[in-house]
């Protein structure tokens, strides 16, 4: 994604999401959702970003990850962007 290959990155993250679901890697699933949400936010697709970020946040909160607080801030920022657009 950082090199501009956005569509390829999304496809790879979707593959990663399927794999993490298959093997039961909940933290990996949350982080993949976070990245997909990040890409959607960067593209200005704020509602789609929330569709990825909120489930990621729920997972991180459930497993009591230290990343949950930071992701909660990201979710709040995206919600503000939606309200102000």
Distance separating alpha carbons of residues 14 and 25, to the nearest angstrom: 14
The whole-angstrom separation of Cα 78 and Cα 38 is 10
Cβ contacts of 29 within 8 Å, gap of 6 or more: 17, 20, 21, 56, 59
Strands (E), 3-85: none
For the chain, what is the domain count? 1
| 36 pLDDT tier (thresholds 50, 70, 90) | very high
Q: What are phi and psi of 3, to 5 degrees?
A: -90, 5
CATH assignment of the domain containing 46? 1.25.40
Structural domain of residue 78, as residue ranges? 6-83
Would you say residue 5 has pLDDT above 90?
A: no
The structure's pTM equals: 0.91
Within-domain flag for 36: yes
Residue 1 lies in a domain: no
User: Confidence band (pLDDT; 50, 70, 90) for 49?
Assistant: very high
Q: Tokens for 39?
A: 């890409």
């Amino acid at each position: 994604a950082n090199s501009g290959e956005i569509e390829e990155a999304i496809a790879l993250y979707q593959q990663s999401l399927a794999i993490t679901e298959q093997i039961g890697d909940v933290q990996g699933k949350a982080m993949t959702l976070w990245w997909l949400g990040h890409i959607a936010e960067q593209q200005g697709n704020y509602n789609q970003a929330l569709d990825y970020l909120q489930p990621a946040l729920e997972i991180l909160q459930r497993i009591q990850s230290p990343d949950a607080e930071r992701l909660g801030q990201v979710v709040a920022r995206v919600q503000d962007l939606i309200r102000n657009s």
